[in-house]
Amino acid sequence: MNDTQQAMRSRFAFVSVHIILPLLLGGLIYACWRDQNLPMFRWFDLAGLQPLIAKLRIAASPWQVKLPIWFQFSLPDGLWVYALTAFMALVWKGRDSRLKFVWLSMGLLLGAGSELGQLAGIVPGVFDPFDFFFCLSAAGLALVATSKSITRQRSTNEVAT
């Protein structure tokens, strides 16, 4: 396997694990247990996925009582922040610039920032300390996890070269 293939494979693995998987998991939580009065359910209708979603919700309904509230309401926010921070980490890997830090903090700014905005009354909604905690932790976790992954990926490539 040549270097380009190796790099492509590593990048695909990174995108799958750190970006697509968290987004899918967050989306699945919404699809299974959240109120259907959300725009995404109209999107599912438009995409012809409504029957599948209905089956999924019926199958997942016994879990609704058992799952903690944070799992259904705060975790998806955290997963979104994680995926966005990981995406930016991938785009800006190996670069050192001020802009990099602006983009890297975008997940944190939008996630935790909007919660603080709610607390200050300038963003619609009600401040939830759990949401805030999850957004904060997710951004930190994404930076740690992706920096390790990127370092590992780079050292593998260096050995391969």
Using CB under 8 A as the binding rule, the residues of this chain from 119 to 158 that contact another protein are 124-126, 128
Considering only residues 7, 17, 56, 57, which one is a binding residue for another protein as defined by CB under 8 A? Answer: 57
Looking at 75, 78, 84, 139, which residue binds another protein (CB under 8 A)?
Answer: 84
**Contact between 21 and another protein (CB under 8 A)?**
no
Buried/exposed 64-100: b ≥16 CB within 10 Å, e otherwise? eeeeeeeebbbbbbbbbbbbbbbbbbbebbeeeeeeb
Q: Please choose, from the candidates 88, 101, 90, the residue with its C-alpha nearest in 3D space to the C-alpha of residue 154.
A: 90
76 dihedral zone (left: phi>0; alpha: psi -120 to 50; beta): alpha
The only residue of 21, 56, 92, 137 in contact with another protein, by rule CB under 8 A? 92
C-alpha to C-alpha distance for 113 and 128, rounded to whole angstroms: 12
The residues that touch another protein, with contacts defined as CB under 8 A, are 23, 27, 30, 33-40, 43, 54, 57, 61, 64-65, 67, 69, 72-73, 76, 80, 83-84, 87-88, 91-92, 95, 97, 99, 103, 106-107, 110, 124-126, 128
